Structure 1
Amino acid sequence: MKVAVLGSGAMGCLFGAAFHRAGADVTLVDVNAEHVGTINAKGLELDLRSGVENLPIRAALPAEVSEPVDLMLVFTKTFHTQGALEGIAAAIGENTHLLSLQNGLGNDKRLAGFVSDDRVMVGASMLPSDLVGPGRVRSHGEGYSKLYPAFGGDPAFAEQVAGLLSAGGLETVLDLNIHEVIWSKVIFNATMNPLCALTRRTPGFLGANPESRATIKSAVAEGIEAAHANGVMVDGQPIYDLTETSMTDHADHEPSMLQDLHAGRRTEVDAINGAIVTAAKEAGVAAPVLETLWHLVKLEEAKLKQG
């Protein structure tokens, strides 16, 4: 299988490595020229619990990818999806499948304008991963991934993708209820990401303080109510369990929203908290804690704009 990973940051590299181990023809695509150059010159360095490995995977800038691929895995920030796919249009052929493992809600609709609905897949991954430098990724933690065709239909190609990822060391399964899976992850992210970003601390800090634990409980409850009001019947207990896991097993992991603020970048809070709050209001329910976290992160972004 010929695979392009569009947005090869921490998570993109982790998944690209899994496809590479399974024998796929992988290209890591990113706009960071230093990152791309380092991977091409020295290989991709992965620091895992099992040890450090170095993989000779091709990396490229978007303009350097000129041939259609079988699968394009989309890992860009949600607000960059449209422009990123337009910039790599040469790699999207008549048989190309798109798979989004991005954060937030609505990624299926963002991909649908580039290929037919039957070639759109979505999923969610609960793996921790950090980009520690150009060409260097760290992932010390356990997790899993799930995916499925976004709009239903034949899951045969999705099954091939899941098989390759699992063979490459990332446990991945198909889940018919993929939209419940995605909502569950978004609720988790809408809770833990803003709290880490606003306190400038990792999940272990949140676990050590009763104030954050109370906020976590309220935020998750609001997310569950919003999902149910929109006809997505998520099971709440696994989300609560996952917050506990993040505060123990992933205590030192920097969530993406915290990484973004540290780097002076825009976050994905609109596609995460904003999307839940909007969906909740449209269904006639309130989500005041999630809305407050959303607004506070937007204020942090506004501070960045002021320099």
Structure 2
Amino acid sequence: MKIAIIGAGAMGCLFAARLALSGNTVRLIDVDSETLEAIRTRGVRLDMAGQVDQIRVPIGLAEQLREDIDLILMLTKGSATRAAIRAARHLIAPQTRVLTLQNGLGNAALIAEYVDTAYILQGITTIAADLRAPGVVHGNSQGTIQWWCCTGEEDPWMKKLHEVLIGAGLTSCPDSAVESRIWEKAAFNAALNGLCTLLDRAVGAVGEHAQGKDLIEEIVSECGSIAEQGGIAFDRPRVVASIDHAIRCQADHLPSMLQDRRAGRATEVESIHGALVSTARKHHLRVPVLETLYRLLAMGESGVA
């Protein structure tokens, strides 16, 4: 399969390496000059539980790519979705599908401004990855990829994508309830990523204190109320259990939001916390813990490029 991955951060590089190593034609797209130079010079270095691979993956700006593409995989921050898909719209041929595994809410709707909804797939991944330097990623293969077509209907093409992901050693889980999974992942990120970033601590540190556990449950509960008000099924115990698992098994992991904050980059606070708070306000719901967390995180964005 010919695949263009937009966003060469931790997840973009992880997917690029795994998909290229399994025989697919992969192209990375990014706009950061340091990232472009590093990957052009040294390729992508992926360390997955001690299995180290160094692989050359072509990278460039979207406008520099002029090939027929079967799949565009969106892995940018939510704040960059509209600009990224607009820059890559010349790559969208009649056979091209677009899969978003981005964090946050509303990414598929932004992509739909440029792509027919019938050709958009959306989902989440629970794979954890740390970006140690541009093009240098430490990750694991324990997580899953849950995804489905945005129309809610099963597309025969999905079988091909499932086989490609499995062939790359990734755990692909087509899931018709993907809308719920996206909301549950947003709650996971709102609680764990948000608190880790605010406290400047790795995942394990947040779960060491009773106050942290209480805050996590309150944030997840508020996110669930927002989802349910919009008619989305939301499993609170499953989200809390997922966070507990991350605290136990990925204690040293630095969430991407914290990695961005430490590096002086803009975070995903608007596409995660901001989107949740905005939706709550539309439904006239009170979410005091989530709103306070959002305001504190947004204050930390001041002056960030």
SS where residue 66 of structure 1 aligns? coil
Which amino acid in the other structure matches residue 262 of structure 1? R
RMSD value over aligned CA atoms? 1.6
CA contact (8 A) 1:147 1:162 kept: no
Equivalence for 1:25: 25
Q: Does residue 85 of structure 2 align to residue 94 of structure 1?
A: no
Give the C-alpha shift of residue 16 in structure 1: 1.7
Which amino acid in the other structure matches residue 172 of structure 2? T
Between stretches 136-145 and 174-183, larger displacement belongs to 136-145
1:1-307 correspondence runs (5 A): 1-140=1-140, 142-302=142-302, 304=304
CA contact (8 A) 2:9 2:135 kept: no
Which amino acid in the other structure matches residue 255 of structure 1? P
How far apart are the structure 1 equivalents of 2:35 and 2:150? 31
Give the C-alpha shift of residue 278 in structure 1: 2.1
Taking structure 1 as reference, are residues 174 and 141 closer, same or farther at Cα in structure 2, changes over 3 Å only?
closer
Query: What fraction of aligned residue pairs are identical, expressed as a percent?
Result: 34
CA contact (8 A) 1:180 1:232 kept: yes
Structure 1 unaligned segments of length 5 or more: list them.
none
How far apart are the structure 1 equivalents of 2:183 and 2:66? 35
Q: Which runs of 4+ in 1 moved over 4 A?
A: none
SS where residue 279 of structure 1 aligns? helix
CA contact (8 A) 2:5 2:75 kept: yes
SS where residue 132 of structure 1 aligns? strand
Structure 2 unaligned segments of length 5 or more: list them.
none
SS where residue 28 of structure 2 aligns? strand
CA contact (8 A) 2:141 2:170 kept: no
Which amino acid in the other structure matches residue 126 of structure 2? M
CA contact (8 A) 1:22 1:165 kept: no
Give the C-alpha shift of residue 25 in structure 1: 0.9
How far apart are the structure 2 equivalents of 1:272 and 1:278? 10
CA contact (8 A) 2:179 2:232 kept: yes
CA contact (8 A) 2:147 2:175 kept: yes
SS where residue 301 of structure 1 aligns? coil
CA contact (8 A) 2:79 2:270 kept: no
Taking structure 1 as reference, are residues 267 and 42 closer, same or farther at Cα in structure 2, changes over 3 Å only?
closer
SS where residue 302 of structure 1 aligns? coil
Give the C-alpha shift of residue 190 in structure 1: 0.7
CA contact (8 A) 1:4 1:28 kept: yes
Give the C-alpha shift of residue 141 in structure 1: 6.3
Which amino acid in the other structure matches residue 130 of structure 2? D
How far apart are the structure 2 equivalents of 1:304 and 1:63? 27
Count of residue pairs the alignment pairs up: 305
SS where residue 301 of structure 2 aligns? helix
Give the C-alpha shift of residue 63 in structure 1: 2.7
TM-score when normalising by structure 2: 0.95
- For residues 153-200 of structure 1, what are the alpha-carbon distances to aligned partners after superposition, in whole Å with 9 as ceiling and x for unaligned? 342222322221121111011100110010000011111111011111
TM-score when normalising by structure 1: 0.94
Between stretches 185-194 and 260-269, larger displacement belongs to 260-269
CA contact (8 A) 1:205 1:251 kept: yes
- For residues 114-168 of structure 1, what are the alpha-carbon distances to aligned partners after superposition, in whole Å with 9 as ceiling and x for unaligned? 1111101101001111111122111146211111111223422223222211211
Give the C-alpha shift of residue 64 in structure 1: 1.7
